[in-house]
Amino acid sequence: MNLFSLAKAFPTEEHALAYWCKVRWPKGVVCVKCSHDKCYLIETRGKTGKPARIFECAACKLHFSATAGTLFHDSHLPLQKWFMAIALMVEAKKGVSAKQVQRHIGCAYKTAWYLCHRIRQAMQEPSDVVLGGPGVVVEMDEMFVGGRVAGSGIFNSQKKKVKVVGIVERGGSVHMQTVKTVRKSSIKPIFYEKVAPDTEKIVTDGAPVYLAVIPAHQHQAGNHKEEKRTRQKLSNQTIEGVFSLFKRGVVGSYHQLGAEHLDRYLGEFCWRYNRRKLQPWMFQMALLSVAENKPMPYKELTKF
C-alpha cells in the first residue's frame, strides 16, 4: 500500500482504529486478559485530555485499549502515523532510516527510532522456517559488515567487523544471521537448523570451512578467482546479490548500525525479500504480525 492509497483509506484516526480492530479481532473484540467475547466500547478522555476509546470486558471488567498487548502498546502516536511508518518500511527495498521516517510522519527522532525497531521486530521470520528441499538449489556464503578502522590495517579491521552467514534458495527465500566466527563451530549448527536434509544441492564459494559442514554428495564448491578470470557467472551469484543489496541499504539508507541490533535489521531485509512477489499484501501481513507480537519496552531495546 503506497502513501496515497493509505491517505485515502484512513482519512481520520477513527478509520484507522476501526481497521486495526478488524485486523486484530476479525470475529469481534475479545478481552486481552480472559478472552471473553463480550466487550463494550467506552469513550473517555486520556491523561492529556484527548478523546480515547477503550473497551470494558463484561466478564472481568478489565479496561483495555485496541493496542494493548501488541507492539503498539503504550504508544502515544496516532495509528495513522504508525500505518504510514509501516507502509514506508515494507515498501522500501533497501530499507528506510529512522531519520527519514521522522521527517515523513513528524515526530522526535527518538520516537521514530523506537517506532522503527518495533515494526522491525514484527518483520521477523518464525524461527522454525527451513530452506531448501527436493529439487531446490541452495547457496550459502558469509559476509562482513562494518567499515575500516583508521590506522589498524586491513586484517585487524576485518577482525572487528560483524560476521554474517547467509543462506538463500535460488528463486526463493533467504535467511541471514550474525555469527561469532566463520568457523565450523558457528556455521554447522545454522546449516543443520536452516537447510532441509533432502536439499538437492548446496553451492558455496571455495572456503574450506564448508567441506567440514556440508555433506560431500550435496556440496558444490565454486572458484571465484577462476570464474572472474574467465568471466563466468559466479557459482553463488544469488547470495552475493542479496549481500550486495543489504550493504547498499547500509551505505545509502542507514549509514551506521549498532552491532547489537544487526540481527533485527537482517530479519527485516529477509522478511521483505521473501515477500517480494506479494507486494500488494505486505502492509496487511505486517499489521497481522504487529498484532501477534508482544510489546517491546524501550528499556529492553536499549539494554545493551
Q: What pLDDT is attached to residue 157?
A: 66
Tell me the average pLDDT across 255-282: 94
**Per-residue pLDDT at 63 exceeds 80:** yes
As a whole number, the mean pLDDT across the chain is 91
Q: What pLDDT is attached to residue 49?
A: 64
Q: What pLDDT is attached to residue 139?
A: 96
Split at pLDDT 50, 70, 90, the class of 44 is confident
Choice among 139-148, 164-173, 239-248 with the minimum mean pLDDT: 139-148
Q: What pLDDT is attached to residue 76?
A: 86
Q: Quickly list DSSP for the chain.
A: --HHHHHHH-SSHHHHHHHHHHHH-TTS---TTT--S-EEEEEEE-TTS-EEEEEEETTT--EE-TTTTSTTTT--S-HHHHHHHHHHHHH-TT---HHHHHHHHT--HHHHHHHHHHHHHHS---TT--B--TT-EEEEEEEEES-PPTTSHHHHHHHHSEEEEEEEETTS-EEEEEES-SSHHHHHHHHHHHB-TT-SEEEE-S-GGGGGTS-TTTEEE--HHHHHHTTPPPTTHHHHHHHHHHHHHIIIIIS---GGGHHHHHHHHHHHHHTTT-GGGHHHHHHHHHHHSPP--HHHHT--
Query: What residue spans define the domains of the chain?
Result: 137-257
Split at pLDDT 50, 70, 90, the class of 227 is confident
**Per-residue pLDDT at 134 exceeds 70:** yes
Tell me the average pLDDT across 220-247: 85
Tell me the average pLDDT across 276-282: 93
Tell me the average pLDDT across 125-142: 95
Split at pLDDT 50, 70, 90, the class of 229 is confident
Q: What pLDDT is attached to residue 142?
A: 94
Fold annotation for 137-257: Nucleotidyltransferase; domain 5 (3.30.420)
pLDDT in tens, 92-103: 999 999 999 999
How much of the chain, in percent, has pLDDT values that exceed 70? Answer: 95
Environment class of 30 (CB within 10 Å of its CB; exposed 0-12, middle 13-18, buried 19+): middle
Tell me the average pLDDT across 155-169: 86
